[in-house]
């Protein structure tokens, strides 16, 4: 009797887990900018497509934006949405550009189980492009968050360019 009960409980546990994971993969979030895979491939470089559209990860320390400390705003490389301000960037030592906060409303979040445990994945809220992940090991004196972002998913717009754009609007 104990073996049957154990077997039933084990079956229920695995069944519940697979249903939850299946439901999550079935739910596709929609974004204001949508394009076909062919259109994204035409617009983006091979590395950008791999990271932004296929949720890939660039090699650590490979992005020139990792050590960029100029004033400005980091935009989505796919749709030009402003995502992070340079004043919120810090050197995490991880090899990827890191920020302690996003521009509110411009970054969407989801749960990613790709490596066997739950992580908070970040996407551009306008086009859905994969940016990276957010962790709770950032600077304690600010938000405590570390937005670990693939540099290839970003386009840096220097402060002078941002100011000129705002004046023209």
Choice among 79, 124, 127, 148 that is catalytic? 148
Query: Alpha-carbon distance 159 to 70, whole Å?
Result: 8
- Two structure tokens written together for 20: 């939850």
Read off the tokens for 107.
Answer: 């970054």
Please, what's the b/e burial string for 36-60 (b: 16 or more CB within 10 A of its CB; e: otherwise)?
A: eeeebeeebeebbbbbbbebeebee
Structure tokens at 83: 């995502």
The first and second tokens of residue 163, run together, are 């100011």
By the 8 A CB rule, do 62 and 98 touch? no
152 three-state secondary structure: helix
Q: Is 124 a catalytic residue?
A: no
Answer for the pair 78, 48: CB distance below 8 angstroms, yes or no.
Answer: yes
Query: Across the strands, what pairs with 98?
Result: 90, 148
Residues designated as active site: 148
């Amino acid at each position: 009797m104990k073996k049957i009960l154990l077997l039933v409980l084990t079956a229920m546990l695995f069944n519940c887990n697979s249903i939850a994971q299946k439901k999550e993969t079935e739910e596709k979030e929609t974004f204001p900018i949508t394009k076909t895979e062919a259109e994204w491939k035409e617009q983006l470089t091979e590395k950008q497509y791999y990271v932004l559209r296929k949720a890939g990860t660039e090699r650590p320390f490979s992005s020139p934006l990792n050590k960029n400390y100029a004033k400005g705003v980091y935009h989505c490389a796919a749709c030009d949405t402003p995502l992070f301000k340079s004043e919120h960037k810090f050197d995490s030592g991880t090899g990827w550009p890191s920020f302690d906060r996003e521009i509110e409303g411009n970054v969407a979040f989801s749960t990613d189980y790709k490596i066997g445990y739950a992580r908070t994945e970040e996407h551009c809220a306008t086009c859905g492009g994969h940016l990276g992940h957010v962790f709770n090991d950032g600077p304690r004196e600010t938000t405590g968050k570390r937005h670990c972002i693939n540099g290839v998913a970003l386009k840096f717009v220097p402060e002078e360019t941002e100011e000129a754009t705002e004046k023209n609007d």
